[in-house]
């Protein structure tokens, strides 16, 4: 079965790097027009260039997902550029290296919750009315396997990703009858800048990361992108409120 998309326009936050860039490229390869958004303008313009070089259509809009006025403006720019919004991948996120719970700081808590939770909430708050007005759409939020279970020394991050799944499930139920589907993707360790910042300094940590997954390796950004595209495609029309682990078997143990 090949994936089919009756929509035409996709938005990807955190689209300047890693999982977001791979997913923006994958949407564009399916013929969708893509709005690439991020705090990082240089990386975002690179994603747009890569899409255009491959024959696709994309535009970059800078946005800090923690600021409502910027999120509102991002959605206005999306509609003025391409007329509608069919698929939204709310993927911008941060992970700050933390110690055990009692060693965390209030600043870390506010920063992680601000991007990972408030950012996803604000994006959905402004995307859903557009989708309702046009008769439907699909949203995928990036959670994590850290949102499905314990993540030692990452308690705030883990709490933020559990919250993403809570927002996802609640929105899915609220808007199911209105044809807006909302799902989450839950990656395990994926080879991105975020992973390299956390693990590269210590080769033992990298080995440990590979061994955490029954498949014996960490994941690739394209493997998350294909899961996101599946959750958006017409064939996933009966799938909503789901948190899909893409984790090399890590949560099956």
Q: Could you tell me which of 127, 221, 146 has the C-alpha nearest to residue 188?
A: 146
Q: Which stretch binds ligand NAD (CB under 6 A): 27-35, 87-95, 170-178, 238-246?
A: 87-95
Site string for ligand NAD, 15-44 (x = CB under 6 A): -xxxxx-----------------xxx--x-
Q: Which of 51, 74, 92, 182 binds ligand NAD (CB under 6 A)?
A: 92
Q: Which of 82, 87, 157, 199 is catalytic?
A: 157
Least distance to ligand NAD, CB of residue 1, Å: 27
Task: Tell me the three state secondary structure of residue 84.
Answer: coil
For position 11 contacting ligand NAD by CB under 6 A, the verdict is no
Residue 64 binds ligand NAD, judged by CB under 6 A: yes
Is 231 strand, coil or helix? helix
Alpha helices in the chain (DSSP H): 18-29, 41-53, 68-82, 106-113, 119-134, 155-175, 193-199, 203-211, 221-232
- Contacting ligand NAD within 173-232 (CB under 6 A): 187, 189-190, 192-195
Residue 144 found at the interface with ligand NAD (CB under 6 A): yes
Nearest distance, CB of residue 58 and ligand NAD, angstroms: 15
Q: Angle at CA 40, nearest 5°, toward 72 and 230?
A: 70
Q: Which is nearer to ligand NAD, 172 or 206 (CB)?
A: 206
In whole angstroms, what is the distance from residue 86 CA to residue 136 CA? Answer: 7
Smallest distance from the beta carbon of 169 to ligand NAD, in angstroms?
Answer: 17
- Report whether 227 contacts 185 (CB < 8 A): yes
* Residue 180 to residue 85: CA distance in whole angstroms: 11
Alpha carbons 3 and 235: distance in angstroms, whole number: 7
Spatial strand order in the sheet of 9-13: 58-62, 33-38, 9-13, 87-90, 137-142, 180-187, 243-246
Is the CB of 78 or the CB of 142 nearer to ligand NAD?
142
Active site residue 82: no
Provide, rounded to whole angstroms, the least separation between the CB of residue 237 and ligand NAD. Answer: 25
Q: Does 93 bind ligand NAD (CB under 6 A)?
A: yes
Q: Kindly list the residues in this chain that would bind ligand NAD in the complex (CB under 6 A).
A: 13-14, 16-20, 38-40, 43, 63-66, 91-95, 115, 119, 142, 144, 187, 189-190, 192-195
Q: Which residues are catalytic?
A: 157
């Amino acid at each position: 079965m090949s994936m089919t998309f009756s929509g035409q326009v996709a938005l990807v936050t955190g689209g300047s790097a890693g999982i977001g860039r791979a997913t923006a490229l994958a949407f564009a390869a399916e013929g969708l027009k893509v709005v690439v958004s991020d705090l990082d303008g240089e990386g975002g313009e690179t994603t747009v260039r890569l899409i255009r070089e491959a024959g696709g259509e994309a535009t970059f809009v800078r946005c800090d997902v923690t600021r409502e006025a910027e999120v509102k403006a991002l959605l206005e720019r999306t509609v003025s550029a391409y007329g509608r919004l069919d698929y939204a991948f709310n993927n911008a996120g941060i992970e700050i290296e933390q110690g055990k719970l009692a060693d965390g700081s209030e600043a870390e808590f506010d920063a992680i919750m601000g991007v990972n939770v408030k950012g996803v909430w604000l994006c959905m708050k402004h995307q859903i009315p557009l989708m309702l007005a046009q008769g439907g759409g699909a949203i995928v939020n990036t959670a994590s396997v850290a949102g499905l279970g314990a993540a030692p020394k990452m308690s705030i991050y883990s709490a933020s990703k559990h919250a993403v799944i809570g927002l996802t499930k609640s929105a899915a139920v609220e808007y199911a009858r209105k044809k807006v589907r909302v799902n989450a993707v839950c990656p395990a360790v994926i080879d991105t800048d975020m992973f390299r910042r956390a693990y590269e300094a210590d080769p033992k940590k990298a080995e440990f990361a590979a061994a955490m997954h029954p498949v014996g390796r960490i994941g690739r950004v394209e493997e998350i992108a294909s899961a996101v595209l599946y959750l958006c495609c017409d064939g996933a029309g009966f799938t909503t409120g789901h948190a899909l682990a893409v984790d090399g078997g890590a949560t099956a143990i």
